[in-house]
Amino acid sequence: MNDNLEKLRQRLAEFAAMRDWDQFHSPKNLAMALIAEAAELVEHFQWLTEEQSQLLSPEKKQAVSHELADVLIYLIRIADKLDIDLIAAAQSKIEINETRYPVERVKGDARRAEEY
């Protein structure tokens, strides 16, 4: 997985460089674009029931996959600009969450950590 993520990071960096877009790809601008894409993702689920959100038509699922790809692309670009290893960061965050949300305390309960 790490190799695939690195290949994708390189491809995205080349894509932006060839178009001279690095001048626009500051972490701030990329974070703003990420939020816009995340909002577009949310739009696909707005007003759906829980069941409907799990039973998307093939066309809707394809549209959602494109929005997920956009979110991933911007996330990778931000991490690249800030020299953050996303895999290491995610593993570190999971370890933090394992401490904040111990199974015996939170199983079946979805409150925030401060509420326990």
SS (H, E, C) 6-49: HHHHHHHHHHHHHCCCCCCCCHHHHHHHHHHHHHHHHHCCCCCC
Q: What is the DSSP letter of 55?
A: S
Distances (CA, A) of 112 to 18, 31, 57, 90: 43, 24, 33, 19
Per residue of the chain (116 residues), give pLDDT as tens. Answer: 679 999 999 999 999 999 999 999 999 999 999 999 999 999 999 999 999 999 999 999 999 999 999 999 999 999 999 999 999 999 999 999 999 999 998 999 988 888 88
Determine the pLDDT at residue 115: 85
Q: What angle do CA 76, 80, 81 make, to 5 degrees?
A: 120
| CATH architecture for segment(s) 5-84 | Orthogonal Bundle (1.10)
Write the Ramachandran bin of 83: left for phi over 0, alpha for psi from -120 to 50, otherwise beta.
left
Determine the pLDDT at residue 1: 61
| Domain extents in the chain | 5-84, 85-115
Size of the chain, expressed as the number of residues it contains: 116
Dihedral (CA of 116, 102, 51, 63) sign: positive
